Amino acid sequence: MDSYPAIEDHGLIGDLQTAALVTCDGTVDWFCAPRFDSPSIFAALLDKEKGGYFQIAPHDTRYVTKQLYLPGTPILITRFISADGVAEVMDFMPVTGERATDAHRLVRIVNMVRGSMRFRVECRPRFDYAREEHQLERHRNGYVFRSRSMTMTFNPVDPVRQLLAERGNVHLEGGDLVAYGTLNEGDAGGVVLETAGTEPRIFSPEEVQGMFEWTRDYWRRWLERSRYTGRWREMVERSAITLKLMTYAPTGAMIAAPTAALPELVGGTRNWDYRYTWVRDTSFSVHALLGLGFTEEVSRYMNWLDERIREAGEHQDPLKIMYRVDGSSDLHEEVLDHLEGYRGSRPVRIGNGAADQIQLDIHGEALYAMHLADEQGIRVSHQVWKSTVRLVDWLCHNWDQPDAGIWESRHHPRNYTFGRVMSWVALDRAIRLATRTGRPGDMSCWTEQRNRIYDQVMARGYNRARGTFVQAYDESVLDASLLAMPSFGFVTPSDPLWQSTLHAIERELVSDSLVHRYDPVHSPDGLPGHEGTFNMCTFWYVEALARSGRLDDARLTFEKMFTFSNHLGLYAEEIAETGEQIGNYPQAFSHLSLINSALTLNGLLDAEADTRRRR
């Protein structure tokens, strides 16, 4: 690779246990296996020289590229257009199912649509984040890359007519494979990479076509379960597919993003590993998935969450903020000093040191999700309810303490207003659940503490001098998390205290409709540098405007956000001052909040239209 592509110049493919990123020029520059959080095989995204990649692209010809998804699927098509011809590379990963496996397939098929082109194939894996040496073995029917920890086979598709690169044009460069081949109109060729393979074999075109059709039909059948028929349906459905791609099928847990260490500021140090399941993120997704009708996904996640609640309850501990997809909690953070980072953004971190922080708000998100699921008939067992009671009892006695906050500050703990609001949500939803289901709980204590939190937030979380709610008690800094307060019912959207807060956020944190989380200059978070606007916060702003009755403003802001998605409708975590996407990509928070905003705004626009018609 000669240079780093833009973060947004990637498409995502996956098989519901792991995923890969493919650039607009046909390069797989990020792929971990056998799971999302496994060591990388290709990681040129984090070091173009050392990280490893797999490229299929025209050789020695000028071309432009166009990229799209096959409608209703995550099957990615990259088109190469030149004066000599038009070719397509189709990338996909057949769904592996709900049983964890080390065997994963990455299928890359090239079709020559018209004219002719000479192609170059480079497969340069670098196992274990480029820390392991490997050997390349030539076999009769393909090639094997073998390292200490992994074996990966390179399997051609039909060597007679369909093989992309004939044997005489294949060169082994140390442990790498480089091949050349010319395709003429109507020709097709391809490669199936297979992890945990032992002996390479030739795939017939019919077998590959069968994998393609099965993958296509799986995703289209899944998407047909969506009951959303409102505005912006294409963007909503693409976001739903993206969330599904980031869900680990064996457990139902959703990762925050499939990447690690992509910077929140290019050249900066805010480079985190997001390949884990945050209780907060996935709990927020429950509203989005239920709103679209995907109850099975919610049920599977709630089973995963129930197990985490049971574990916490047994030890009288709070929930951890994040876990691995299998529910384990060892997320030791380390720095990969040998990698230069995306465009020189160091350090490159894997693991996540925030995993052991105390963040009080996550209990609110967990109980909020449990309450929503219960309303749809997805109910917890007796044992899980007993653990929930212990967790809520813990919160009753521990909510009034400083914590790290929703943004995982690595500065000193503070009394964050949002953490208190979500503690109120946890107790409020626990009371509603116990009342609705008739299950036992210390209702007297829960009610008393819920009311204490409310009074405290109104007394200390609202800064009367400036007339707004603030990020933390006894401070004057704003925080975009406050935009979510009406969504959880803590305040009504028309409350003057809330409206003054919304107006202040618009003045201080909103820039051309895009929203910053907070101002790190006035609210130190323990890290140098600054960051871009946070996509989830912008979607929260849309909801806040809509709930406040400013539907025209909400719709304009929402549709402006579409201009910041990439060509495939995908969003990273943030938008830089220059308008490019930054941070880990694609980001579950961004896509689930897009869906939630669409559900809220579409419903309110429909209600407004009904009111006009009745008049």
pLDDT (tens digit, 9 = 90+) per residue, 29-76? Answer: 999 999 999 999 999 999 999 999 999 999 989 999 999 999 999 999
* The pLDDT value given to residue 449: 98
* CA proximity to 515, closest of 575, 474, 472: 575
The answer as to whether 423 is a domain residue is yes
One-letter-per-residue 3-state SS of 177-225: EEEEEEEECCCEEEEEEEECCCCCCCECHHHHHHHHHHHHHHHHHHHCC
Domain contains 585: yes
448 and 313 assigned to the same domain? yes
Residue 183 clears pLDDT 70, i.e. is over it: yes
Is the predicted pLDDT of residue 572 greater than 90, yes or no? Answer: yes
Residues 163, 72 contacting (CB under 8 angstroms): no
Same domain, 195 and 293: no
- Decide if 2 is inside a domain: no
- Residue 24 pLDDT more than 80? yes
Query: What is the C-alpha to C-alpha distance for residues 572 and 186, in angstroms, rounded to an integer?
Result: 37
Q: Is a pLDDT exceeding 50 seen at residue 494?
A: yes
CB 111 within 8 A of CB 205: no
Report the pLDDT value the prediction gives residue 45, as an integer from 0 to 100.
98
pLDDT tens track for 227-274: 999 999 999 999 999 999 999 999 999 999 999 999 999 999 999 999
- pLDDT tens digit string along 432-476? 999 999 999 999 999 999 999 999 999 999 999 999 999 999 999
Examine residue 403 and state whether it is found in any structural domain, yes or no. yes
Per-residue pLDDT band for 529 (boundaries 50, 70, 90) equals low
Q: Are residue 165 and residue 296 in the same domain, yes or no?
A: no
Q: Average pLDDT in the 316-320 region?
A: 89
Number of domains in the chain: 2
pLDDT tens, position by position, 375-402: 999 999 999 999 999 999 999 999 999 9
CB-based contacts of 590, cutoff 8 Å, min separation 6: 535, 536, 539, 571, 572, 573
Residues 266 and 174 in one domain: no
Tell me the average pLDDT of the chain: 94
Q: Is residue 395 part of a domain?
A: yes
pLDDT-based confidence at residue 528 (cuts at 50, 70, 90): low
Three-class secondary structure assignment of 451-479:
HHHHHHHHHHHEECCCCEECCECCCCCCC
* Residue 243 in domain: no
Alpha helices in 224-255 (DSSP H): 233-245
The reply to whether 447 and 359 lie within a common domain is yes
Strand residues in 220-283 grouped as ranges (E): 247-248, 253-254, 260-263, 271-273, 277-278
Domain that holds residue 67: 7-207+217-222
Task: Mark whether 181 and 295 lie in a shared domain.
Answer: no
Q: Are residues 72 and 165 in the same domain?
A: yes
Would you say residue 244 lies in a domain?
no
489 and 567, same domain (yes or no): yes
Percent of the chain predicted with pLDDT > 90: 90
- What's the one-letter identity of residue 476? S
Kindly tell me if the per-residue pLDDT of 538 is higher than 70: yes
pLDDT of residue 160: 45
Query: Residue 84: which CATH number?
Result: 2.70.98
Q: Is 250 domain-assigned?
A: no
539-542 LR contacts (CB < 8 Å, sep 24+): 539/590, 539/593, 539/594, 539/596, 539/597, 540/480, 540/481, 540/483, 540/484, 540/487, 540/515, 540/593, 540/597, 541/480, 541/483, 541/505, 541/510, 541/513, 541/515, 542/597, 542/600, 542/601
Higher-pLDDT residue of 539 and 2 is 539
- Domain shared by 74 and 171, yes or no: yes
Helix (H, G, I), strand (E, B) or coil at 8: coil
Please tell me the predicted confidence (pLDDT) of residue 163.
47
Say which CATH number the domain at 511 has: 1.50.10.10
